[in-house]
Structure 1
Amino acid sequence: MGLWDSVKKGASDFSQLSTLQNKVKNNEVLTVDEIEEFERLTKGSIEESIRKNPTKYFKKSNKYGQVEIDDEKRLFKIGLTAYHFDDLNSYELLENGSAITSGGLGVGRAIVGGVLLGGVGAVLGGVTKKKKQTNFVESLKILVTFKNKKPVSTTIDFIKKKQKKDKKYESILLTAQETLAGFDYIINVLENDKHGEIVGNISGSNNLSVADELRKYKELADDGIITIEEFESKKKELLE
């Protein structure tokens, strides 16, 4: 193959790959031939390509405050950077350096200081009881940490200079709460995946006695991984 032929083939491959990548980004279904061509051009699977460069393939399907979601590929985006759902480790809302609320996989979300009002409503007293409450805020941000990523954390800033706790503050706080709701959504998806995997693994085991299976399900119910109703249903099924 001559130099000119190589150049033409390279341009053709580049154009074809761009077309296929756009289809993947837009969540279009690829044919078997297109999948094979994609894998030939990238020397890997579609899943591997998304894992290596989630930002390239991200397409927003929903938005919570300052975090965007791609439900189809299970990606989320903060600013200009996209991450996989399972990259998320923890997140916390900090006011003047003090944690108001925090969350993460396996712990849900809990109020650390202050009081949350209704869903994505306001946060009152974003300081612990030991600190004197003021009418001004110096900073308000969400600290997000990741698993197996560099850098290991990032921040979403909402207030970076002195701000009075007025209507503007309440509006900013609402956006921060909506952003937290986005991270809550991601954690709920991961928790549901974990729940399904555990239940599926237990259901697929043929070497456990009925008593052993019941103990397993009771432990899951006690830990809140499955509901009491699910436990009772499985208990009835096993005993019958």
Structure 2
Amino acid sequence: MDFWSWVLIVVAGVGIPIVQAIGVSNKKTTMEEKLKSLPDFSPTQKIMGNNGDTGLAIDENRKKVVLIKNGSSGVNLKPITYRDVLTSEIFVDGETITKTARGSQLGGALIGGLALGGVGAIIGGLSGKTKSSEKVKRVDLRITVNDTKSPLHDLNFMDFKGKKDGIVYKSAMEQARHWHGLVAVLIKTADNEDERQERIEPSSNVESSTQTSLADELSKLSDLRDKGVLSEEEFSTQKRKLLS
């Protein structure tokens, strides 16, 4: 192989990664611009995945989350509420290393509903064991949401081989843990809201039942008055007792 052939190989080896990096950068910019056009959403925190295919944004004031996907048909934005977020998992080379899931009764029912829809095996992840290899190729965050048609959203933080003690892997894991922690806070917030709702609903039911009983008693008194069993004075007296 002559000198110029070697030169072409070297140039190609350097140029291809640069072109790929520019392409990813452009995809991230496109997702950023699309997010700006979304009404009633002001992201307080956002991130675009390492490969430029997906992103995630949070509006803490409105309690909303936007799942971002960049596909062949363009950028798709999927706004959801905190309560639609069911689980969050960090994957390293396809293995779950940590997971947070909704713990309330309602949250558990939603997760169960997705499992019945045929995606339970996917939601469960893999074995949960970490690989002992010194090198890692991928680091991803997987979010499960309350949508039977598209329940999974994967956010990539690293997609090329690197050492576990290397800067790239450590940086990717730091970002993944940060966002996993944020989503875990959303899940906890939703659980707290569910618990408050569960405490409120019984008292609401009692109040509703009381109101129904009162209406029934008043109706019975009216019937007795109309039939002549009670005089108008007797009806008024009994009515005051019920309403007091």
Give the alignment's TM-score, normalised by structure 1: 0.48
Give the alignment's TM-score, normalised by structure 2: 0.48
Q: Which has the larger radius of gyration?
A: 2
